Amino acid sequence: MKIIVFGATGNTGKRVLGQGIKLGHEMTAFVRNSEKLYDQLDEDSAKHVKVIVDDITDPVSVGEALAHHDVAIIAAGHAGQGEEFVRIVDNIISQCELQPSFSGRVWIMGGAGLLDIPYTDLIGNNLPGFPPEYRNHNRNFERLQQTQLDWSIMCPGTMIDSRVQSDAVRLHVTTETLPIPIPETIQEYSEADIAGYLFSRFQELNVAYDDVAACMLDHLELGGAFKRKRVGLAYQSNIMVR
């Protein structure tokens, strides 16, 4: 497939780019600093990447870059940027809608706080104690719900450089809800207590950047299982408890 990665020099974007090259996809990197990109790529990989250096907030530049691509992966910006982050995502989504030769598969980055908490009508980002900037992910989610594009939101917890490889551990993937077991009794908690409970279990949501990238690249088809879904990731043991 022809895949364009926005934010291709960031921790997530560079993994998506590298894995996409190895999988044989036609990869385009949209960056503001080509030197940083080439420093991250080995000589062979650099030969297999189309590089666009431009302004990610400029509608014309983004629209032209999207032309003839099958997939856009938005790994640019972060929630702490506030309005700038929301504008970046809105601009790319808007150009995906307007570019007639873009086929419409989009991945964006969210966070675990955007996922539903089982047995409640809550998401973590709206609970007391959660950083208010996380609600910028809520705004991006609301924007996606307004479009007809085939989108997915990747919602990991804290991303880490790597994980210990073990046959006893597998990647557990969910849609819409947190990917860790939650007791039904949580519905009896106050919102403050639910927040405290989730904070105590956040480490269970740590997931490696490479696994996040691989999950997105495994689900690029239009109309797939993750169409218009929030996607959660966590590691689970393959060993059955008796």
* H-helix or E-strand spanning residue 19: helix 11-22
- Angle among Cα 59, 45, 234 to the nearest 5 degrees reads 75
Q: Tokens 């269970």 label which residue?
A: 204
Q: What is the pLDDT of residue 237?
A: 76
Joined together, the tokens standing for residue 79 give 């929630």
Of residues 81, 78, 135, 70, the one with CA closest to residue 107: 70
> How many percent of the chain have pLDDT more than 70?
96
Q: What is the pTM of this model?
A: 0.94
Beta-carbon contacts of residue 36 (< 8 Å; ≥ 6 apart): 9
Average pLDDT, the chain: 94
216-233 mean pLDDT: 97
194-217 mean pLDDT: 96
Q: Which tens digit of pLDDT belongs to each residue from 89-102? A: 999 999 999 999 99
Q: Which tens digit of pLDDT belongs to each residue from 124-141? A: 999 999 999 999 999 999
Q: What is the pLDDT of residue 166?
A: 62
Which has the higher per-residue pLDDT, 59 or 238?
A: 59
Question: 240: pLDDT confidence band, cut at 50, 70 and 90?
Answer: very low
Q: What is the pLDDT of residue 167?
A: 65
- Does the pLDDT at position 168 exceed 80? no
Beta-carbon contacts of residue 135 (< 8 Å; ≥ 6 apart): 125, 126
- Does the pLDDT at position 232 exceed 90? yes
CA of 193: how far to CAs of 185, 199, 202, 205, in Å?
Answer: 12, 10, 14, 19
Contact 150, 223 (CB under 8 A): yes
Q: What is the pLDDT of residue 45?
A: 85
